[in-house]
């Protein structure tokens, strides 16, 4: 079982550039008087460094939360990128495989794109383009609105 806890909030600009090729693989981040060592050589951070905006709906990731995962007794520190939507809800930004892993898509950066979790869920394992995902998402919002309406 693992439990995740948020321990700090950062500006993406103070985090993501340290994931670039040539940077040390671990970077220390200070929160209050404590220093946390975070592994930075992750493909996901590099993707967000090059594009932090959902390719489908266009929401921009602008908050980086430092999390600690306690897996058994080992602590693992990592960042998640979030966007704040119009209702101030946090939306997790994810890396989407353009051709899904399911269908033989590779893990290479050329097969990855930034998507918010809502669009990514709509895309699923399909080959839908970002535009198609956005159309489906808008239809769902309209359907939800219509279902709520009582005339
Ligand atoms: Zn999106």
Q: Please write the tens of the pLDDT for every residue from 24-36.
A: 999 999 999 999 9
Every domain of the chain and the residues it spans:
2-148
Q: pLDDT, tens digit, for every residue of 39-63?
A: 999 999 999 999 999 999 999 999 9
Q: pLDDT, tens digit, for every residue of 98-108?
A: 998 888 999 88
Q: Is the predicted pLDDT of residue 139 greater than 90, yes or no?
A: yes
Q: What is the 3-state secondary structure (H, E, C) of the chain?
A: CEEEEEEEEECHHHCHHHHCCCCCCEEEEEECCEEEEEECCCHHHHHHHHCCECCCCCCECCEEEEEEEEECCEEEEEEEEEEECCCCCEEEEEEEECCCHHHCCCCCHHHEEEEEHHHHHHHCCCCCCHHHHHHHHHHHHHHHHHHHCCC
CA of 37 relative to ligand 1 center, distance in Å: 30
Q: Is the predicted pLDDT of residue 149 greater than 90, yes or no?
A: no
Which tokens go with 24?
């040390």
CA of 117 relative to ligand 1 center, distance in Å: 7
The residues near 142 (Cβ < 8 Å, ≥ 6 apart) are none
| Number of neighbouring beta carbons within 10 Å of residue 91 | 18
CA of 115 relative to ligand 1 center, distance in Å: 5
- pLDDT value for 32: 92
CA of 5 relative to ligand 1 center, distance in Å: 24
CA of 58 relative to ligand 1 center, distance in Å: 6
d(CA 120, CA 1): 25
Q: Is the predicted pLDDT of residue 151 greater than 90, yes or no?
A: no
Q: pLDDT, tens digit, for every residue of 57-95?
A: 999 999 999 999 887 778 889 999 999 988 999 999 999
120 band by pLDDT with thresholds 50, 70 and 90: very high
CA of 82 relative to ligand 1 center, distance in Å: 11
The whole-model pTM stands at 0.89
CA of 133 relative to ligand 1 center, distance in Å: 8
């Amino acid at each position: 079982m693992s439990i995740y806890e948020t321990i700090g909030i950062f500006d993406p600009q103070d985090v993501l550039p340290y994931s670039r090729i040539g940077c040390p693989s671990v970077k220390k981040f200070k929160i209050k008087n404590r220093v946390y060592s975070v592994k930075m050589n992750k493909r996901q951070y590099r993707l967000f460094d090059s594009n932090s905006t959902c390719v489908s709906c266009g929401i921009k990731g602008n908050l980086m939360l430092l999390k600690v995962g306690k897996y058994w007794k080992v602590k693992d520190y990592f960042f998640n990128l979030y966007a704040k939507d119009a209702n101030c809800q946090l939306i997790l930004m994810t890396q989407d495989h353009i051709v899904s892993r399911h269908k033989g898509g590779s893990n290479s950066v050329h097969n990855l794109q930034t998507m918010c979790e809502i669009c990514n869920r709509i895309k699923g394992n399909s080959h839908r383009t970002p535009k198609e995902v956005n159309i489906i998402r808008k239809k769902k919002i309209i359907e939800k609105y219509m279902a709520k309406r009582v005339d």
